[in-house]
Amino acid sequence: MIIEITSENFNDEVINSGKPVLLDFWASWCGPCRALSPIVDQVANENLEKVKVGKVNIDEQQLLAEKFGIMSIPTLILIKNGKEEKRVVGLQSMKEILKMLE
C-alpha cells in the first residue's frame, strides 16, 4: 500500500512509523519519476511486512521537499527511526531499491 505523504501526516506516517519508510519524491511532469513509480509500487506490495512506502509530490509538498533538500527527482529516501538512513537520486532498478532496504 502506498501512502500519499503530506506535511499534515508526515509525523504520524514517517517519524512515528514502527517500521522503516521509503519516501519517493516525485512530480507528475517528471519522466523518470513516472518510470520509477510502478517499480516503487511493486516494492511496496511485495514488502508490506518490512517497509512502509510513501510518495511525496514535490509540487504539492514544497515544504517537505525543502526539508529534505531535494534538488533532483526522482529521489528515494529511506527513513529509519525518524532519521534519514539512505538516499538515492535518479531512476533505480527493483534490485537497487531492494538492496537499499536491506
Across 41-70, average pLDDT: 96
The single-letter DSSP state of residue 97 is H
**C-beta contacts of 8-16 below 8 A and 24+ residues apart:** 10/64, 13/52, 13/54, 14/54, 14/79, 14/82, 15/79, 15/82, 16/82
Q: What is the pLDDT of residue 40?
A: 97
Q: Of the residues 30, 88, 89, 98, which is catalytic?
A: 30
Q: What pLDDT digit, counting tens, does each position of 12-22 carry?
A: 999 999 999 99
Instruction: Indicate if 33 belongs to the active site.
Output: yes
Across 50-77, average pLDDT: 97
Judged against a pLDDT cut of 90, whether residue 61 lies above it is answered with yes
Instruction: Indicate if 30 belongs to the active site.
Output: yes
Q: Of the residues 21, 22, 23, 33, which is catalytic?
A: 33
Domains in the chain (CATH in brackets) are: 2-88 (3.40.30.10)
Judged against a pLDDT cut of 90, whether residue 1 lies above it is answered with no
Across 86-94, average pLDDT: 97
Q: What pLDDT digit, counting tens, does each position of 29-54 carry?
A: 999 999 999 999 999 999 989 999 99
